[in-house]
Structure 1
Amino acid sequence: MTAQTVAVDYGDIWQVGKHFLCCGDIEQNHAERFLATGRFRPDIVYTDPPWGAALATGFRTKAGLSRQVDYAAFLAAFADSLQAVPIVFVEMGAKWEGQLHEALNHNQYKLARRWEITYYRTRRAILLAYTKYQFSIPILGDFTGLDDADTPLAVLQKNTSTNQVVFDPCTGKGLTALAADKLHLQFIGMELSPTRLAVGIERLCKQGNYTAQKIQSLAFKK
C-alpha cells in the first residue's frame, strides 16, 4: 500500500488511528498545551532528543525557526515537557549525559539504568532509563549492544502493558510511534519540524493501514 501523503503545518494536531501527533516546540512549552487538548496521560516516554546545541540549532533552522539554541535551556525545556511521566527512556550521546542528568534531576527524576547501544549501527550511544523519585518502578530488560533502530520496540515490549500510552516529545520521523503501534499501544507525539512529522505520519499510515486526519490547529507562535 502507498502511504498517505499529508501536508503538516506548525501547530497542527493529527489523528492516525488511535494515535495523536502534534507539530510544536518543547522550548515554547507546547507539550503541556498539546497534552491538555486530549487530556492525555502518558505512562511512559521513549525519546531521542537532539544531541548538543549544533544539532538542536540545525533542526530549528530546517523547521524555519532559525536561532542559536542554548543547550542547557533546551534540556530544561525538554525535562519540563515530560509532564511528570513516571518512567522515561532517553537515547543520548555520552558527551551530553551529564547535562541531561542535571536537567532531569532538577525535575525530580533519578537515573535507574544505563546501557551502551549503537546509533545507525556505527556510532556509540547510550540508552538511559529514569524514574520519578516518588515512584519505585522496576526497569525490565537488557538492551546492551542494540541499535537505536531496534531499541524502542525492545524497550516498550519489556516495560509496557495493555492500554498504556507512550509519549515522545521529539517524535522525529516516528520510530517510537511505529514501535508503539506494533504493540497496540496508544502513541502521543510532538515534533518541531512539519516535514519530519509528515514523514512519521505517512509511515504510521502505511504500517497500520490508517487514514490520517488533521483534527485541530493550535495557535502556536513561531
Structure 2
Amino acid sequence: MSHAPGESPVNPIPPLILALFVLILGVELTFQLGARGLAGGPQAIGWRQSALTDFGFQGQYPTFMVETGQIRAEYLLRFVSYPFVHGSFTQAIFAGIMLLALGKFVGEIMAPVAVFVLFVVSTIGGAMAMWALGGAQDWMFGAFPPVYGLIGAFTYLLYVRLGQVGGPQIQAFRLIAVLAAIQFVFGILFGFAPDWPGDLGGFLTGIAFAPVLVPGGFSALVDRLRQR
C-alpha cells in the first residue's frame, strides 16, 4: 500500500476519543493525588466515593422521574457522566486503553465526529439497559459500556468486510465472544458483576448505530428501505 508524501501510514486516534481518554485519566489522576494527600487536603480522600455517588448511574433515578413525572437535570446527567468515574485505577487504565484501541480501529472507517456520537449513544444505551435489566440499587460506573459500543461497531465493520471478501462472517464476533467468555469465567470464580447489563446495552447500541454512522451509511439505509 502506497501513501502520499508526508501522509502517515498509520491512522491517528480520533481527536475527540483522545480527548475523552485524557478526561478519564485526568479524573483518575485527581482521585489518586487526593487519596495520597497530594491535593485537596484531608477531605480529598473521599473524592472518589463522592464522585461515584454524584455521577454514577442507578436505575432508581430514571424510575423516580417516570413515576413522579419530574425531570431532573442531575438525574439525566447520570446517563452520560458515569463513564468518567471509575472504582479503581486499574479499571480506569484498562477502560482507557481499550477506548484508544477501539477508537482507532473504528476511526479508520468512521469520521471522528461519528466515533464520538457512537461513544455517546452507547453510553446512553448502556444506561438504558442497566435501568431495564439491572437492580434498582445496583451502581454502574466506568467507561466499559461505551467501549463495548465501539466493539459493537468494530464487529459490524468486520462483518461487512468479511462479506465483501467472501470470508466467514461469523469470525466478526470473535472479539465479543472472547470477552464474554472471560467475563463468564471471572463471574464463576469471583461472582458476576451487577453492571453486566450496561456492557450488553453498549454493545447492542454500537452494533445497531454503526450502519448509519459509516460514510454513506444513512443514505444507503434509506435506499434499502425505499427498495422494500
Q: Shorter-chain TM-score category?
A: under 0.3
Query: Which protein is richer in helix relative to its size?
Result: 2
Whose radius of gyration is greater, 1 or 2?
Answer: 2
Query: Which protein is richer in strand relative to its size?
Result: 1
Q: TM-score, normalised by structure 1?
A: 0.23
Identify the structure with bigger relative contact order (alpha carbons < 8 Å, sequence gap 6+). 1
